[in-house]
Chain A
Amino acid sequence: MTKDTNSTHHNEFEKAEHKDEMKHQVISFAMMIIFTIAAFAVVATDAIGKYFTIPIILLLALVQVIFQLYYFMHLKNKGHEMPALMIYGGIAVAFMTILTFTTIIWW
């Protein structure tokens, strides 16, 4: 162990920091729940018509996933540059794939 300290003071500081982060995570969880309920509600009540429903629920899913990736999985934190790059890469290929399968499979 070369880099770490023995000071309990430091540990207290870290704990507070973790707690702060945890608070953000609980908030993002609440948001995710709200988005989920909204998505289900939009579909269940058929409140806004078929053509708007699909883009809206897709958007809600997207925002939720961003919360999940950035807060729960810490993609926003330092030291996640390479993971973020590879996830974006995966998302780019995923996007092309899904675009293909919704457009040029049937003609």
Chain B
Amino acid sequence: MSNEDILNPKQMPREPEKATLEGKNKFIGFWFFLGGETVLFASLFGTFLALRNSTAGGPGTEELFGLELVFIMTMLLLTSSLTSVYAMYHMKNNDFGKMQVWLGVTVALGLAFLGGELYEFNHYIHEYEFTFRSSALGSSFYTLVGFHGGHVLFGLLWIVTLMVRNAKRGLNLYNAPKFYIASLYWHFIDVVWVFIFTVVYLMGKVG
């Protein structure tokens, strides 16, 4: 396949993300990377679970957490997962415009989520003096949730870069795999969040 065919395909194939060898490699490689990320987050979850009662005299999880904000953030992130599914749906139908729109919605929801998280951290720090340094619980909480937040931020930058870079030229076999794995990444962030709201917040509230 010549470079010209990749950049300006006459016809989009059924699975544009896997039409080239490079695309297939990216697809498989990224999934493998997510396998590794699973262990990374498991280690962070494990650390949090081991330290969840180590308050060092400071506030504990039951006292700290409120469910309302977490519920709203959860809904935002879950919905963003669906909107990125819509984006991929339009990618497969070779409808670049609609894909960009849905990616835009995804980014907006992700931003709102991040805003919520920052507000929440700020709240804990100022209202409860619960910080990264105040107790082992604090260290592990901010590390786990912060790692996830960092992933969200990176995902947003990544998707926006892709959107801007390709805005003028539309879909081709070179950028389709990039869009596809970005959306895989976004779903993975959502998977991690499902466990965060369950293990950190809900279990923290139960005590």
Contacts and interface: CB of A to CB of B under 8 A. Distances in A.
**A and B: direct contact (Cβ < 8 Å)?**
yes
Chain A: interface residue count, which band?
35 or more
10 contacts: A4-B13, A14-B92, A15-B93, A36-B75, A57-B198, A69-B187, A69-B191, A72-B187, A100-B46, A102-B50
Contacts of A15: 93
Main secondary structure of the interface of A (DSSP, over half): helix
A27 B34 CA distance: 25
Interface of A: 1, 3-6, 14-15, 18, 21-22, 25-26, 29, 32-33, 36, 39-40, 43-44, 50, 53-54, 57-58, 60-61, 64-65, 68-69, 72-73, 79-80, 82-83, 86-87, 89-91, 93-95, 97-98, 100-102, 105-106
Contacts of B203: 54, 57
A18 B1 CA distance: 26
A61 B194 contact: yes
A97 B187 CA distance: 23
8 cross-chain pairs, A with B, having the tightest CB-CB distances, nearest first: A101-B46, A94-B42, A90-B38, A83-B31, A90-B35, A86-B35, A61-B198, A105-B50
Interface residues of B, number: 53
Given A25-B85, A36-B78, A68-B194, A87 B206 contact: no
Interface string B1-39: 100010001110110001000000001100110111111
Contact of A40 (B49, B71, B187): B71
Given A86-B31, A87-B31, A98-B49, A18 B92 contact: yes
A80 to B, nearest CB: 8
A94 B38 contact: yes
A18 B89 contact: yes
